[in-house]
Amino acid sequence: MNKILLIVAMIIGVSVVTCPKKEDHKEKLMEEVNTLLDSELTKKMDTDEAKALAILGSAFGSSVVSYMMDGRLSVDNYFVCSVGKLTFDGETTIVSVGAFNHIFTDVSNRIRKAIEEMEQSGL
């Protein structure tokens, strides 16, 4: 019984020490957004000039997203894990979960779906 309690205490201790901070969540989200911007902007570009403009657009877009995320990203720390939330127009959405020095997110899939819906609706 004591061995089990010791193992549980060690796991909890490690999870507390390795719980990701707000900066970690922001970094992971920005990585996801940058990858998505790069792929989506260069997907339909066929000339070198268009690809160069897409890269500039991606850099501009990522700086805008970073600025917006600074004020809208909040991270709740539950000691053993942390939860990242973004607030837009008064609506808060969970965008990331962190534990054991890893951040799990599904943001790129959500953005891809939104882009597909916009393309289908003709925007």
Residue 77 confidence (pLDDT): 94
Q: Delimit the domains of the chain by residue range.
A: 20-120
Distance between CA atoms of 37 and 59, rounded to whole angstroms?
A: 9
| Region 31-55 average pLDDT | 70
Check residue 48 and give its pLDDT: 67
Q: What DSSP letter does each residue of 81-101 carry, written as one string?
A: -EEEEEEETTEEEEEEEEETT
* Predicted pLDDT of residue 19: 94
The pTM is what?
0.75
